[in-house]
Chain A
Amino acid sequence: MSAAPGASPDTTPGSTPGASRGATPSPPRNGVTRAEYCVIACAEAWRGDGEILASPMGPIPSIGARLARRTFSPDLLLTDGEALLVGPDGSPEGWLPYRQHLALVTGGRRHVMMGASQLDRFGNQNISCVGDWERPARQLLGVRGGPVNTLNNPVSYWVPRHSTRVFVEKVDMIGGVGYDSAAAAGPAATRFHRIPRVVSNLGVFDFATEDHSMRLASLHPGVTVEEVVAATGFELTVPADVPYTREPSPAELASIREDLDPKGLRDREVKG
C-alpha cells in the first residue's frame, strides 16, 4: 500500500494518513522492518529535488538515496563516497574530488543528510564535542562541513537512535546552523538555509511551524507519539493528527532487500 504523497495539506509528503494523538494502535507492518521504514523516510528527503547531488551519510541514508534515484528521483547525482559520481549500478559518470565537492556545496546544488550527535529544537546540530568546548567531556569529530553545508544547501539529518541525549534543549557546540541561529546571524546566513527534515528510528520531523521549531511529521509504524515525546529532550510540536511514514511499495521493498542492501546493513543500524 503506497499512499499518494501530499494527500492533504496537513500530511507530510511521503506519509500515510495515520491515527490521532493518544493511545494509537499501530497499523499492521506486513513484515516491513523499522529499518525499511527509515530507508523510505530518508529516500523521501530527496523527492522532487531534481538534478542535484544527494549526499547521504550513514548506511540507511545511503540506501535511501539510491532508492530515490532508482525510483522517483531519477535525475539525482550520487557519489561512491570517494571522488566519483556514480550511476545506480556503481559505474562512474563524473569526478567529484573534495575541492569540487566544497564548491558544489556553496553553489547549492546538493542536499546532504548528515548525522547528529546532538540536535535541538531549531535544528542546530553538533558532531564536534560534548560538554564545554574549551575542555570537552567527550571530543567527537569536529564541526566538519556543518557550518558551510547549512548556510548553502539543504541539510537533513539522520539519527539512528532517537533519545534525549541526542534531541537536546541546546546543543553544546553549534556546527550545523539551526533556524534560530541563522535568523540571528542575518541575511547571509538565512538566504539559502533550509533544513527539510530530520529522520530518526522513531519518525520524521520537520520545521513547518511558525517559529521553525521542530514538529513531528510522521511516525514510523509501530511507534507511538508518547514514545517519541519521551525520547525527545525538548518540547516538540505534535499535530492533532500524526500520519504514519508511508509503506514501501512491493517493488521498493524488493529493491531494498535484493539489490540495494542484500547484506542487511540497514538492520545493523536500526533494529526491530
Chain B
Amino acid sequence: MVEPQPHRVTLPNGLRVVLAPNAEPGSTEPGGPPVVGISVHYDVGFRSEPQGRTGFAHLFEHLMFQGSESLEKLAHFRHVQGSGGIFNGSTHQDYTDYFQVLPSNALERGLFLEADRMRAPRLTEENLRNQVDVVKEEIRLNVLNRPYGGFPWILLPPVLYSSFANAHNGYGDFTDLERATVDDCAAFFDTFYAPGNAVLTITGDIDVEHATELVDKHFGDVPARSVPERPSFTEPLLESEQRDKQQDPHAPLPAVALGYRLPDPVAELDSYLANVVLGEVLSDGDASRLQQRLVYRDSLVVDVQAGAGLMGAPLDARDPDTFTVTAVHSPEVSTDRVVEAIDSELDRLATEGPTSEELSRVTARWSAGLYRDHDRLISRTLDLGSTELLHGRAELVGELPGRVGAITTEDVASAAKALRPETRAVLEIEPTGDSDGGAA
C-alpha cells in the first residue's frame, strides 16, 4: 500500500498546512468513518527552555487550554467534547503539539478553536498558578511517586549530554515551575507561537478544497510575526564512557540504561534508519537478539528494550538524538554483567550483521506497525505534522516503509559498530526502598 500524497498549502502569515484526506481526489468511495483529525505543531520543545525555567514549554502547553479572546477558561474542553470529540497536547524535545479528533461535522469548530488560541490566548495569573499545581501533580504521578519514574528520559540525558538544552529535566524542577510568571508566558508566546513557526495538519473525512477555505477563513488573519532562528543543539560526542547512579526508593529491582548518540535524523536519515532497524533486531519480539540472550538464555534480566529515540519512539527529534538500551534485572546480577552481554551482542552484529531472515522479519513487522498506527487517525495526523515540522516533508511518512526495507545487513552492522562504549552514558538505578515496594 502506498499512502496518498498529502496536500500542502502555506498561508501568507507563514502557517504551513498539510491536508491528508481519507479518499483519493475524484474517488467515489466513501471517505471511511465520518471523523477528522486536526493538529497544530509549534516548533518549540523543552530543549528551547532558558536556564532557570526548566519545564516551561510543558507548563505553557497547559496554559494554551485555559481560554482565549473568544473563549472562557474551560470552554475549549467543553466545545471539543460537546461536539463529540477528544483533545490533548504534548511537549517533546523539539516541538509541542495540540490535537483533536472530531466527528467531521465539527471540522470548522475545531479549526476555530485552534486559530483562536494561536491568535490571542488568555494568559492569566490565576490560570498560571492553577496549572503549576496541576503540572506538579502530573510530575508526582509520573515521576516522584512511581518506581522507575523518569527512567530513562529524564535521568539519562544529564549523563550523556553536557549542554543545558540537552541535559536538563524537561518536566521541570518544582522551584523553576513556581517561579514562572505571566510575563514569561507572554515572552514565550510571542517568541515561539507565531503562525510561521507552526504546522497545521488536517486528516480524515475532509474535502481538500473546502478544508482549505475554512483554514483561510479562520487562520488567515492571525497576524504574521517574526520566527526565531532555530539554534543548533548539537554538542561534541563523549570522549570516554560516563557513568552515574540514581537511587529509587520505590523500585523493587535494579535497572540500567545505556545512551548513545545517533546520526543526525534529518541530514543522515538512512544511517538513522539503520539504527531503527538495529533496535528492532535487538529487542523486538521473542526471536530478537537481546530477548534471546539476556532474557531466555542467560536469565540476566526481567525485561530489556532497545531503540532510537529518547522518548520511546524514533524520528521524534532533531539532532542530537539518543539510542537507548534499558533493562530491569535481578539484584544478583551485576550491572557490568548486563552491559557486557549487551556489548557482546552488539559486537556480533557489528562483525556479522543480522541474517537476511532477521532483516526481513524486522522490516515486515515495522511496516505493518506503521500501517496499524496510521489506521488510528490521531497517530496519522500527529505523524504527518511532526514529520513536516522536523523534516519539511510530510511525504516522508509514506516513504518510510520503502526506505526501511532498503536497509542492508551491512548498514545494520555499521550502526552496531558505532555504538562504542567510550562514547556512551551508563545510568544505574539502585533500589533503596522495601523489597515489596513499600505497601504495608
- Are A and B bound to each other? no
A residues at B contact (CB < 8 Å): none
B residues at A contact (CB < 8 Å): none
